A and B are shown apart, each in its own frame.
Chain A
């Protein structure tokens, strides 16, 4: 239902995907400019960072996991979710995966196949990297979903609607996850700090594994660690806040 609603609710959804791909093309051009001047882009080869940027776009919806949970806390649509005979939050996760799947099949997969036309090698250096990547991607979604639930609970705790919390989370994620700018190209050794944060487990870890610019086992171990820490915290926050939820409808 969520997948087909992509077409029914908003026939102009194509625009969002086109914009997203345009941004990637611009980012690729920036890496090429830097690569032409410096040879390497930070500690990454030009080829690796181009692949990193492409894969970040193709799997963007999973590496930057976002549901309509916080938004529906604000517009009250969450009320009807409580009436359904199933847990509330998994409904949002399922819908987000369906929406991502639609975009993946229609736009991201063709982009992956057409990547050589953009001068980008979409393949990982070795097949084993792809296998580790899939495991890491699964963990990335789990970390992202836990953060989604936690930040959603903050919307109720702050009582300020979803605007502030959502945008704050987005700003932090864009900067700290490595989904847009690889952490390895950050100055002043910031990458060594940011790499330990949960945001890095959402995007940087799987992308580094795919491009073989990071060791798989320690990165996956860190992702597992964040899952173990974040899920109990997120569930506690949600159970503590859900009874405080007041909605009017909007």
Chain B
């Protein structure tokens, strides 16, 4: 086990170095990517940010609470970007295009490759900037008792939200094992939903839709619910809901993914012709 963990860090270091080389091979390319990605990441939350600023909050959220939620959601996305680049998050592309073969021939366990191959700390670093800035701005303005315990719970919930986001992507992406052509881009649609809806306060929805957003399609667990729990707007037990559901989501995604992989091992991919073109 200790050897595996050492290997994990070694591979992360290699990926970080490769990412550094990739991004700095051309200063112009690096600057364009960095500036554009920062603008894109700011743009994701700016609309709600402006609405919260204009109306001094949204529904039951005060302005600073809304900023906290937007910052939390943005940091979740940033962490996912950093660890799941190169189509690890959009796993349906790798599966649907038959590129999983490239991964399977590497003499490492699949989980280790999936955990390390998408590590892009340089090119994705800008995706952490807007979220971190929002958290730094909002936390001192909220009547929060920031103790080491609260920070630990914050990090636990953050990790849980990240795991849920990745688990949802893998669960939906696994459809590509059975429908490689049709589902190749399914993660794009799912990602769109997660990104577009997670920044909204969901309080105004009816119980059915709200319940679905916390369980069946857990967009509410990516920012809305954990933020409420961390801000003390929910009973203390609510702080454990997101981590517990994260365990369930990861288990479900791992089960479905392994079933799909078993199917893939028998059928392989038929997407490439003998002369290399993809159908």
Residues of A within 8 A of B (CB): 9-12, 15-16, 19, 22-23, 25-27, 29-30, 32-34, 37-38, 42, 158, 160, 164-165, 167-168, 170-172, 174-175, 180-181, 185-188, 190
Task: Tell me if A37 and B39 are in contact (CB < 8 A).
Answer: no
Task: Tell me if A25 and B189 are in contact (CB < 8 A).
Answer: no
Task: Tell me if B189 and A37 are in contact (CB < 8 A).
Answer: no
Task: Tell me if B32 and A158 are in contact (CB < 8 A).
Answer: yes
Determine the chain A residues whose CB is within 8 A of the CB of B182 once the complex forms: 9-12
Cα A167 to Cα B38 with chains together (Å): 11
Is B183 among interface residues, defined by CB-CB distance under 8 A? yes
B126 CB, min distance to chain A CBs, angstroms: 12
A51 CB, min distance to chain B CBs, angstroms: 18
Question: CB < 8 Å: which of A16, A164, A188 contacts B36?
Answer: A164
Number of A-B contacts (CB under 8 A): 105
Cα A10 to Cα B175 with chains together (Å): 13
Is B29 among interface residues, defined by CB-CB distance under 8 A? yes
A192 CB, min distance to chain B CBs, angstroms: 14
Cα A230 to Cα B32 with chains together (Å): 24
Q: With A12-B189, A26-B205, A181-B50 in contact, do A34 and B59 touch (Cβ < 8 Å)?
A: yes
Determine the chain A residues whose CB is within 8 A of the CB of B193 once the complex forms: 19, 22-23
Determine the chain A residues whose CB is within 8 A of the CB of B55 once the complex forms: 34, 37-38, 185
Is B64 among interface residues, defined by CB-CB distance under 8 A? no
Task: Tell me if A185 and B54 are in contact (CB < 8 A).
Answer: yes
Task: Tell me if B43 and A22 are in contact (CB < 8 A).
Answer: no
Task: Tell me if B59 and A37 are in contact (CB < 8 A).
Answer: yes
A12 CB, min distance to chain B CBs, angstroms: 6
Q: With A11-B182, A174-B43 in contact, do A27 and B189 touch (Cβ < 8 Å)?
A: no
CB-based nearest B residue for A190: B50
